[in-house]
Chains A and B, each alone.
Chain A
Amino acid sequence: MTFALFAEQLLNGIQFGVTLFLMASGLTLVFGIMNFINLAHGSLYMAGAFLAAAVQAATGSFLLGVLVAIPATAALGAALEFGLFRRFYARNHLDQVLVTFGVVLMANEATRLIFGPVPLRMPLPEALAGSIEIVPGLVYPTFRLVVLAVGLAVAGLLWLVVMKTRLGMWVRAGSSNRAIASAMGVDVGLVFAGLFAFGAGLAGLAGLMAGPILAVQVGMGEPILILALVVTVIGGIGSIRGAFAAALLVGLVDTFGRVMLPPALGSMAIFLLMALILAFKPKGLFPVHG
């Protein structure tokens, strides 16, 4: 493997990793704090991509698509939380799996009904469509660099909010002990709804950033959902730090696995990694609860 190829794969791996982090951070927060398994998180990712593509197709503006899709996905998440999922926080995990599974089926079919079975195209504006020569011999697509930067920026912002603000303090308090946080006067219901909407917005952002790279199609949310779940589990459920470390690890292992291993092993590398980690650390790399 030449240096240029190695560097390119390294960037690809990190870029994929930060996309996974955007997905996994919402998942792990919702899980760690509300104790709620949300299989429909991938549907929000799909919603983000479709909304952005539709707005772009209607207006011709990529930026407008992005600006509309993120809050719209967050609103969709808030509506789901308020209308349905809220009733399931106290239920067992089986009921949560079933209800979110039902929502996944509905979301996929509804999307097919509205947008048709043909994948949508998301052309990039000219400023982002080209490539940049980062160092001599290493040419890398501009848009992928933007994705990388946005992902890292969001991760940094998230860290700031969670560790340095009152809101973040509530979130951390809710994460380590829901009952006591609630007794200490944190409006848990409001924090939950806000958190869910926030996670949904991040999933939508991840989805719309994947749009120009992959195809915008029905069912696009499922493979990424499963990888995000793997990230959540490896990192330790409820841990943002764990999610970030695991997302980069999974992104890199997946990218290099596909390049260096035979195809069958390459697509399974992540799952083998997960099995290996959990065999030694059943609660993930950064366990939150005890």
Chain B
Amino acid sequence: MAEFDPHRPSTIDRVAPIAAIAILAAVPPVAGLLGDPFLIKVATRVVVFAIAAIGLNLVVGYAGLVSLLHAGLFGVGGYVVGVAAWHEFNGEALGLGPVAWAGTADLAITLPLAGLLAGIVALVTGVVSLRTSGPYFLMITLAFDQMLYYGAVALQKYGGEDGLQILSTITFAGRDVSARTPFFYLALTILAATVFLLGRVVGSRFGVVLRAAAENERRVTVTGIPPYAYRLTAFVVSGVVCGLAGALLASGQQFVSPADMSWVRSGDLVVMAVLGGLSTLWGPIVGAAAFVVLELVLSSWTQYWQLAFGAIIVVVVLTLRGGLADLVKLATQGRDAR
């Protein structure tokens, strides 16, 4: 199969994700040497947004569908962690019909749950949105994102518009992972797993169909393959991944709020996926790193950092059509072409 695939990954595409994860893995010891534990916090943020951007990229980059829903799915994951921890901390059972659940702050339970719920929301919204295409799809996902946002604002019990503080100690399978370093490595492990699994997905027949449908839907359809089913699957998978990332962000900053679900955040995620370069697995990691570092550097210079950030987006879109990955590709093109 692979030799017929025009999108066959280049050497760079195979090495870059491993290199990116290796560089990130080295952050905690380096931060220890420099005596700057804040670096670990920054790296955690990079990892979490990289997971979300990779998930979103399956839809935007491979399936060619611009979704502005994903901050909502991200937030669904975050609220699963937040609400479960709230019930655990307050000793008040969460009534789910006939079942009462005591809640938990254990990520071994809440992470899968976050992925599951985000996946279900992605399925329900995807069934409707994917009936449409192009600009309609974009606007519908935007509207669904807004709907989830209002849904979170309406959760008066869990802080409403102000958001929900997570007061419990975050654990994973009983072990305390609330400290910076263990939490970072937990997130990094999930990033590595995501990269590996999605790498298998996009390299498979499934991935080929997804990209083919983005390039020429009619041709795929007459081959006897229904693009809808493939797109819906990709949409749900990306929803699950974003849900996991949202759960990690909420656990890491011990806070979740509707602000993380606004459509502007969805735009940020798309920017991360695109800034790094679409249709590669490692592009979104670069994009997430660039986003977090820019956010940090610009906001330390001026409180009006989004003015500069907006200008950077405009310039990048005007000049670099393939995102930052283009720079690397340009630099290595000579070798790779042969």
List residues of A whose CB falls within 8 A of some B CB. 31, 37, 39, 84, 87, 93-95, 97-99, 101-110, 112-113, 222-223, 226, 229-230, 232-233, 237, 263-264, 267-268, 270-272, 274-275, 278-279, 282-284
Contact = CB atoms under 8 A, between A and B. Distances in A.
Contact of B151 (A95, A223, A264): A264
A73 to B, nearest CB: 19
B267 A101 contact: yes
Given A94-B66, A97-B270, A282 B314 contact: no
Nearest to A280: B131
Contacts of A102: 309-314, 317
Interface in B259-313: 263-264, 267, 270-271, 274, 304-307, 309-313
Interface of B: 60, 66, 68, 125, 128, 131-132, 134-136, 138-140, 142-144, 146-147, 150-151, 153-155, 263-264, 267, 270-271, 274, 304-307, 309-314, 317-318, 321
Contacts of B314: 84, 99, 102-103, 106
Contact of B143 (A31, A93, A101, A271): A271
B318 A87 contact: yes
Q: For chain B, what secondary structure do more than half of its interface residues adopt (helix, strand, loop), or is it mixed?
A: helix
23 contacts: A31-B135, A93-B66, A93-B138, A94-B66, A95-B317, A95-B321, A97-B267, A98-B270, A98-B274, A101-B271, A102-B314, A105-B313, A106-B310, A106-B314, A222-B263, A232-B139, A233-B143, A237-B135, A267-B153, A278-B131, A278-B136, A279-B128, A282-B132
B304 A109 contact: yes
A274 B145 CA distance: 13
Given A222-B263, A230-B139, A232-B139, A271 B147 contact: yes
Contacts of A99: 313-314, 317-318
A223 B147 CA distance: 11
Contacts of B307: 105-106, 109-110, 113
A2 to B, nearest CB: 27
A110 B84 CA distance: 40
Contacts of A110: 304, 307
Q: For chain A, what secondary structure do more than half of its interface residues adopt (helix, strand, loop), or is it mixed?
A: helix
Interface centre among B146, B271, B317 (most CB of A within 10 A): B317
Given A94-B66, A98-B270, A101-B267, 5 more contacts: A31-B135, A97-B68, A104-B310, A230-B139, A275-B140
Contacts of A84: 314
A84 B304 CA distance: 22
A117 B154 CA distance: 25
A108 B134 CA distance: 27
A233 B135 CA distance: 9
B96 to A, nearest CB: 18
A268 B144 CA distance: 9
A214 B284 CA distance: 39
A161 B154 CA distance: 43
Contacts of A284: 136
Contacts of B142: 226, 229
Contact of B139 (A101, A233, A267): A233
